[in-house]
């Protein structure tokens, strides 16, 4: 009991933020983060064809959980396909056919980087659905940030999800409402 109490005191919730997803009017998407399917694969290709410097359908996670300590970047099968196409279009190359089988093997990875002015060093990332913590299939922490890989159910658009960015000097808790989760790709 004392050990649990000291952990809570060592990393108090110092900030609570509500996630805001960038809206991408085209191509439309309201199904959330899912394993790749023929529908999402072709939707991601159309997304990547838009080109431009910062298309919201490719970079939907930019500023998702804005806070002064950490920045999040998601990597999903959808993003893998969309980014590969976008990168080719941006370089004026022919539209590629991304590897569907590789996309099927891709899980959800959250990359965490420490904000430039932050003194808070990441010690853990906890994804919660209700009171249940989702266990990552892989994790690594380094240079004040880290990478955490999860299976798709951790981000299903069926209920709100909370991401706790646990740092040495405080924890930032980010709420992803069900409405926000449906916009993520």
What residues contact 38, with CB distance under 8 A and at least 6 apart?
none
Could you tell me if 94 and 66 are in contact, meaning their C-beta atoms sit under 8 angstroms apart? no
Give me the torsion for CA of 19, 64, 29, 53, rounded to 10°: 160
H-helix or E-strand spanning residue 43: helix 38-49
pLDDT of the chain, 185 residues: tens digit per residue:
444 433 444 455 678 999 998 887 788 889 999 999 999 999 999 999 998 899 999 999 999 999 999 999 999 999 999 999 999 999 999 999 999 999 999 999 999 999 999 999 999 999 999 889 999 999 999 988 999 999 999 999 999 999 999 999 999 999 999 999 999 99
Q: How many CB atoms lie within 10 A of CB 109?
A: 18
What residues contact 17, with CB distance under 8 A and at least 6 apart?
65, 66, 67, 172, 173, 174, 175
Q: How many CB atoms lie within 10 A of CB 62?
A: 14
Considering the entire predicted model, what is its pTM? 0.88
* Residue 124, strand partner residues: 166
């Amino acid at each position: 009991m004392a050990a649990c109490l000291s952990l809570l005191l060592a990393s108090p919730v110092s900030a609570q933020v509500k996630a805001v997803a960038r809206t991408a009017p085209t191509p439309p998407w309201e199904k959330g983060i899912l394993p790749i399917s023929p529908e999402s694969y072709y939707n991601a290709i159309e997304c990547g064809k838009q080109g431009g410097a910062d298309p919201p359908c490719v970079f939907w996670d930019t500023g998702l959980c804005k806070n002064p300590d950490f920045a999040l970047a998601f990597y999903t099968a959808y993003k893998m396909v969309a980014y590969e196409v976008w990168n080719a279009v941006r370089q004026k190359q022919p539209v590629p056919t991304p590897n569907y089988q590789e996309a099927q093997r891709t899980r959800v990875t959250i990359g965490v980087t420490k904000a430039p002015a932050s003194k808070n060093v990441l010690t853990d990332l906890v994804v919660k659905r209700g009171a249940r913590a989702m266990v990552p299939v892989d994790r690594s922490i380094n240079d004040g940030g880290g990478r955490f890989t999860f299976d798709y159910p951790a981000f299903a658009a069926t209920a709100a999800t909370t991401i706790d960015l646990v740092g040495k000097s405080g924890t930032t808790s980010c709420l992803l409402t069900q409405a926000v989760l449906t916009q993520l790709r």
